[in-house]
Amino acid sequence: MSEHIDLSAFTAPEIRAGIIRGDFSAREAAESAFARIEALDADVHAFNQVAPDLAFAAADRVDDMVRSGASPDELPPLAGVPVAFKDNMNLVGTRTTCSSRILENYQSVYDCTAVARMIHAGVTPIGKLNMDEFAFGSSTENSAFGPTHNPWDLERVPGGSSGGSAAAVSAGMVSMTLGSDTGGSIRQPGALCGVVAMKPTYGRVSRYGCVAFASSLDQIGPFTKTVEECSLALNAICGKDPMDATSLERPAEDFTVGLEDGVKGMRIAIVRDMLEMEGVAPEVKAATLAAAEKYAELGAEVGEVDLPAAQYGLSAYYIIGPAEASSNLARFDGIRYGHRVADAEDVLDLYMRSRAEGFGPESVRRIMLGTYALSAGYYDAYYGQAQKARTVIIRDFERAFANYDVLLTPTSPTTAFKIGEKASDPLAMYLSDVFTIPVNLAGNVGLSIPVGLGADTGLPVGVHLIGTHFSEATVLRAARAMEAAVAFDTTPPTVKALS
Amino acid sequence: MALSESEVRHVAMLARLALTDEQVDTLRVELNSILGHIDTIQQLDLAGVEPTSHAIPTVNSTRADEQKPCLPRELALLNAPEAEAGAFVIPQIVGGGDEA
């Protein structure tokens, strides 16, 4: 890769500034990303596909603007920044597979709004990223195309479901990625790969063009190495979209404003009962308590709260999520798109065998669970009960946010686990989202920020900052203060050895 | 609540999934294990609690009623496993008369 410039350690603003100064072109920035992918992705497998034609066309548009004398203000905010997208987001010119056999050859016929907004902000689209099939999972092992490997330790999972999105940023392949988060699918892989990962308030970002998992929980958000880049990505993707009726009209906000204002006087609470839950690794608990102490040193008013209903979040989620998923995935019937058996006897046979052949084991499990929870005789006991539990969980959060600005938990109970370690025990896998799930149920903001390496495993630990609806600016400010205080080196040693 | 084998088969039919006998066996065990955990939700006292379907409810979200271009037919059919004469092809649904 020596004939290319290596920009893997550059932040998005540094790449844009370098293009403006003429240090390198947007095309060279794209080439740097592709060289990095070429060098590392055989081992990491973050990408399902790369899109050089789209990338160079976008990069050349930026370079043409620079050549024709555009001023820095005229260049879009993310001009020339290499970005990649989870493979459940449509982008014309790419396949959108959701890492499923059933959509293996699906060509995007329109653009996902969040993707289109990133491209409008000037980014160079590099490709599409591996994930758990239809976003069902916490390890990216449920991809029909093989697992993604954690750049910190290739024998370990990157987390999931947006594992490709986390690994690509961690390995320095692209500056930013987008993922989607239904129960922790952005934040948990962000923690396991040691990057900044954010789920905005439900409705902040349009879900149009992102293949639906659970429509009342899904939200798109960014992965980056720095909090500033996270803010810049949010600036690009937030806002009302007429194509998604649940996207919300909000006054325009620049999320980079106030980022450096610190946490003096901010009220931050450890969620004590969640931290004391069974299964939290001592190194993770220690890192979370150390983060709270750090906030106190930085001038925050640090306290404790309990969220007694949140421990039922996992149960509510594994009813509501599969119920909505079983309904959303009914569209994959072998008629309009997707895998279809060749020798169907009749239409029912076509549906039943096309779906059974096309969906992987975890998708089948979730569809079965959701169908059962919604079926006659069980609806009230499961779905109805889960929706009421959701109300109680929301009230827990409301009580906590009456006294605190930000709540603090671990992002995940453990650091990255070994590939295969939890694959045969669905329930153990589900538990890795126990801290992130209640946030989706309540529609709140959640961000994972790396705080260091675990004392026992030497792998990245993320802490989870939770804010109430529309508190992105506050959560980002708290995250920035932690980032500055801990100065975590986001580059994995294996990746460093390359340069 | 434990799922029996016949219930697993019933749910698979509702979900339009042609499962093998082996899959039915595996799923029965896995789903019962997951349901065993999920059932802890029955411990919550939820009497009188209103259900939530959306965390941030939006009411009457409408857009302007304007004509706009929609997905052209050739793109709508682009991913069809089988298409003919501008339409999706499916197996015959209405029988020829000698079926039930």
Tell me the ipTM for this assembly: 0.93
Taking only residues 14 to 43 of chain B, the set having a beta carbon closer than 8 angstroms to any beta carbon of chain A reads 14-19, 23, 27, 30-31, 33-35, 37-43
- The three-point CA angle A75-A78-A84 to 5° equals 140
**pLDDT score at B97:** 57
Q: Determine the Cα–Cα distance for residues A485 and A482; give it in Å rounded to an integer.
A: 5
Where residue A430 falls among pLDDT bands split at 50, 70, 90? confident
Query: Which residues in chain A have Cβ-Cβ distances shorter than 8 Å to B58?
Result: 203, 245-246, 248
Taking only residues 39 to 58 of chain B, the set having a beta carbon closer than 8 angstroms to any beta carbon of chain A reads 39-44, 46, 49-56, 58
Kindly report the nearest CA distance between residue B1 and chain A, in angstroms.
Answer: 10
**pLDDT score at A427:** 80
What domains can be seen in chain B, in order of their start residue? 5-43 (1.10.20)
Whether the per-residue pLDDT at A404 is higher than 60: the answer is: yes
Q: Determine the Cα–Cα distance for residues A257 and A7; give it in Å rounded to an integer.
A: 26
Contact B54 A443 (CB under 8 A): yes
CATH of domain A13-259: 3.90.1300.10
Q: Determine the Cα–Cα distance for residues A282 and A118; give it in Å rounded to an integer.
A: 39
| Known catalytic residue at A161 | yes
Contact B56 A443 (CB under 8 A): yes
> What would the two tokens of residue A385 be?
């009960």
Cβ-Cβ contacts under 8 Å for A400 (sequence gap 6 or more) = A269, A271, A305, A307, A407
Q: Determine the Cα–Cα distance for residues B44 and B24; give it in Å rounded to an integer.
A: 31
Nearest to B44 by CA among A357, A479, A391: A391
Query: Which residues in chain A have Cβ-Cβ distances shorter than 8 Å to B16?
Result: 330, 333, 348, 351-352, 355
| Known catalytic residue at A225 | no
> Which strands sit side by side in the sheet containing A267-271, from one edge to the other?
A47-50, A124-129, A82-86, A176-181, A219-224, A196-199, A445-453, A460-467, A406-410, A267-271, A301-305
CA dihedral B81, B84, B88, B94 (to 10 degrees): -120
Ordered DSSP codes for A62-98? HHHHHHTT--TTTS-TTTT-EEEEETTB--TTSB--T
Q: Which of A25, A32, A86, A138 is catalytic?
A: A86
- Which class for A67: exposed (0-12), middle (13-18), buried (19 or more C-beta within 10 A)? exposed
Token look-up 């597979």 returns A97
- Nearest Cβ partner of A385 from B30, B42, B56? B42
Question: Chain A residue closest to B70 (CA)?
Answer: A110
Q: Determine the Cα–Cα distance for residues B20 and A179; give it in Å rounded to an integer.
A: 34
Cβ-Cβ contacts under 8 Å for A79 (sequence gap 6 or more) = A16, A19, A20, A26, A62, A65, A122
3-state secondary structure of A43: helix
Whether the per-residue pLDDT at A358 is higher than 50: the answer is: yes
User: Before B33, cis peptide (omega within 30)?
Assistant: no
Alpha-carbon separation of residue A196 from A166, A222, A446, A496 (angstroms): 9, 8, 11, 19
Whether the per-residue pLDDT at B29 is higher than 90: the answer is: yes
3-state secondary structure of A176: strand
- Per domain, the residue ranges of chain A are 13-259
Name the least confident of A54-68, A419-433, A461-475: A419-433
Query: Which residues in chain B have Cβ-Cβ distances shorter than 8 Å to A394?
Result: 52, 55
Query: Which residues in chain A have Cβ-Cβ distances shorter than 8 Å to B51?
Result: 384, 387-388, 390-391
Whether the per-residue pLDDT at A469 is higher than 80: the answer is: yes
Query: Which residues in chain B have Cβ-Cβ distances shorter than 8 Å to A469?
Result: 55-56
**pLDDT score at B100:** 45
What rounded mean pLDDT belongs to chain B? 90
Residue of A365, A369, A431 best to disrupt the B interface, most CBs of B under 10 A: A369
Does an H or E element contain A331, and which?
A: none
Whether the per-residue pLDDT at A385 is higher than 50: the answer is: yes
Nearest to A46 by CA among A255, A253, A195, A182: A195
Contact B81 A334 (CB under 8 A): yes
Token look-up 């790369």 returns A50
Taking only residues 108 to 137 of chain A, the set having a beta carbon closer than 8 angstroms to any beta carbon of chain B reads 109-110
DSSP label of A491: S
Ordered DSSP codes for A346-382? SHHHHHHHHHHHHS-HHHHHHHHHHHHHHSTTTTIII
On whether any CB of chain B is under 8 Å from the CB of A342, the answer is no
Whether the per-residue pLDDT at A201 is higher than 60: the answer is: yes
DSSP label of A157: -
| Known catalytic residue at A86 | yes
Whether the per-residue pLDDT at B61 is higher than 90: the answer is: no
Nearest to A228 by CA among A77, A410, A31, A25: A77
Whether the per-residue pLDDT at B98 is higher than 80: the answer is: no
Question: Chain B residue closest to A103 (CA)?
Answer: B79
Cβ–Cβ < 8 Å for A284, A462? no
Kindly report the nearest CA distance between residue A308 and chain B, in angstroms.
Answer: 10
A146-199: per-residue pLDDT in tens? 999 999 999 999 999 999 999 999 999 999 999 999 999 999 999 999 999 999
- In this structure, chain B runs to a length of 100
Whether the per-residue pLDDT at A31 is higher than 80: the answer is: yes
Q: Looking at the whole model, is its pTM more than 0.90?
A: yes
Average pLDDT over residues A123-131: 98
Contact A384 B31 (CB under 8 A): no
A452-465: per-residue pLDDT in tens? 999 999 999 999 99
Q: Which residue has better confidence, B93 or A232?
A: A232
Q: Determine the Cα–Cα distance for residues A291 and A132; give it in Å rounded to an integer.
A: 30
**pLDDT score at A1:** 41
Alpha carbon A292 to chain centroid, angstroms: 24
What does DSSP say about strands A124-129 and A196-199: parallel, antiparallel, or unpaired? Answer: unpaired
Q: Determine the Cα–Cα distance for residues A480 and A491; give it in Å rounded to an integer.
A: 18
Q: Determine the Cα–Cα distance for residues A195 and B52; give it in Å rounded to an integer.
A: 33
On whether any CB of chain B is under 8 Å from the CB of A56, the answer is no
Average pLDDT over residues A307-331: 96
Angle between helices A385-403 and A313-328 (to 10 degrees): 130
**pLDDT score at B94:** 77
A243-270: per-residue pLDDT in tens? 999 999 998 899 999 999 999 999 999 9
**pLDDT score at A3:** 66
Whether the per-residue pLDDT at A102 is higher than 90: the answer is: yes
Question: Chain A residue closest to B27 (CA)?
Answer: A365
3-state secondary structure of A199: strand
**pLDDT score at B59:** 82
3-state secondary structure of A306: coil
Q: Determine the Cα–Cα distance for residues A265 and A262; give it in Å rounded to an integer.
A: 9
**pLDDT score at A498:** 73
Cβ–Cβ < 8 Å for A267, A406? yes
Q: Which amino acid is at A311?
A: Q
**pLDDT score at A425:** 83
Nearest to A285 by CA among A298, A293, A275, A277: A275
Q: Determine the Cα–Cα distance for residues A133 and A355; give it in Å rounded to an integer.
A: 14
Q: Determine the Cα–Cα distance for residues A229 and A388; give it in Å rounded to an integer.
A: 37
Cβ-Cβ contacts under 8 Å for A387 (sequence gap 6 or more) = A316, A320, B51, B52, B53
Q: Which amino acid is at A142?
A: N
3-state secondary structure of A281: coil
Whether the per-residue pLDDT at A59 is higher than 90: the answer is: yes
On whether any CB of chain B is under 8 Å from the CB of A279, the answer is no
